[in-house]
């Protein structure tokens, strides 16, 4: 007589294995999430500190320039630029009603854009008397500004060839140089704050196909830079040239 085989008991606790695997995976997931959040904690703290410092800027003043203290951040420079921009905007409205001077905020800083018709005779770099008065006012605004200053000369694409200027490069650079010289000689501004750039017709803001467009392109721009760049990062500027007037 054959013996009956004992029936195998079904394991009712197999779910514990799956449950344990799930718990392990869940634990690993939260470990990864925690470690990731810890890596970015410093970034979050830096953002919070920047926001706080933006509303409580720390500025150090000197007799010639305004420089940010080592604790200062880029946001503080931004706030100073905003205040200075508003000051210029109000001042320009009183100084010029013709629209030939404009104040513009760009990524590189604050730009004071001046039409050639206010500043110079066509093809010349001698500062006109009316423009000299405007420069006197502008000098009062920027003498204690917290920024280095770049003076840029721009022309249209009409070629020039005169005894003084063989191309628009020389004309645009000479005009910018004359303005730097005026600030230094008439307002005792520090020369090491300035750089000069002559861009000729190669940085237009309007089309050169129309009279109106060419008029807009013939301009001087006084740029209060957001931050001082390293010497190696600066473009090569044409140095000041001799006074073209005999």
- Write the pLDDT tens digit of every residue in 24-81: 888 777 776 766 554 455 554 554 555 454 444 433 333 333 333 333 344 444 434 5
- pLDDT-derived band at 3 (thresholds 50, 70, 90) equals low
* Tens-digit pLDDT profile for residues 133-170: 999 999 998 888 878 999 999 999 999 999 999 999 99
Q: What is the DSSP string of the chain?
A: -PPPPPPPPP-TTTHHHHHHHHHHHHHHHHHHHHHHHHHTHHHHHHHHHHHHHHHS--EEE-SS-EEE-TT--HHHHHHHHHHHHHHHHHHHHHH-SSS-EEEEEETTEEEEEEEHHHH--TT--SPPHHHHHHHHHHHHHHTT-SS-EEEEEE--S-----SS-SSHHHHHHHHHHHHHHHHHHHH---GGGEEEEE-TTSS-SS-SSSHHHHHHHSEEEEEEESSPPPGGGSPP-PPP------
Domain ranges (residues) in the chain? 79-233
Predicted TM-score (pTM) of the model is 0.61
What's the pLDDT score for residue 147? Answer: 84
CATH assignment, 79-233: 3.30.1330.60
What's the pLDDT score for residue 37? Answer: 57
What's the pLDDT score for residue 199? Answer: 97
What's the pLDDT score for residue 105? Answer: 87
Q: Which of 84-88, 159-163, 199-203, 216-220 has the lowest mean pLDDT?
A: 84-88
Is the predicted pLDDT of residue 195 greater than 70, yes or no? yes
Q: In terms of pLDDT, which residue wins out, 99 or 49?
A: 99
Mean pLDDT in the chain?
76
């Amino acid at each position: 007589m054959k013996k009956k085989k004992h029936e195998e008991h079904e394991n009712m606790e197999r779910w514990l294995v799956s449950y344990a695997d799930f718990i392990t995976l869940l634990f690993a997931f939260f470990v990864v999430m925690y470690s990731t959040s810890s890596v970015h904690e410093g970034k979050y703290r830096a953002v919070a500190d920047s926001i706080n410092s933006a509303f409580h800027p720390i500025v150090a003043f000197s007799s010639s320039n305004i420089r940010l203290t080592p604790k200062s951040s880029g946001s503080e420079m931004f706030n100073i630029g905003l205040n200075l921009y508003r000051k210029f905007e109000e001042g320009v409205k009183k100084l010029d009603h013709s629209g030939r001077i404009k104040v513009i905020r760009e990524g590189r800083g604050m730009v004071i854009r001046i039409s050639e018709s206010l500043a110079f005779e066509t093809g010349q770099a001698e500062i006109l008397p009316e423009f000299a008065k405007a420069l006197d006012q502008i000098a009062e605004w920027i003498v204690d500004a917290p920024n280095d200053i770049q003076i840029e000369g721009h022309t249209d694409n009409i070629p020039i060839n005169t005894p003084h200027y063989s191309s628009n490069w020389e004309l645009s650079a000479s005009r910018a140089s004359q303005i730097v010289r005026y600030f230094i000689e008439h307002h005792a501004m520090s020369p090491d704050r300035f750089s000069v750039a002559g861009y000729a017709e190669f940085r237009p803001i309007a089309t050169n196909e129309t009279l109106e467009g060419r008029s807009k392109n013939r301009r001087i721009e006084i740029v209060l830079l957001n931050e001082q760049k390293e010497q190696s990062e600066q473009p090569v500027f044409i140095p000041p040239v001799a006074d073209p007037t005999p």
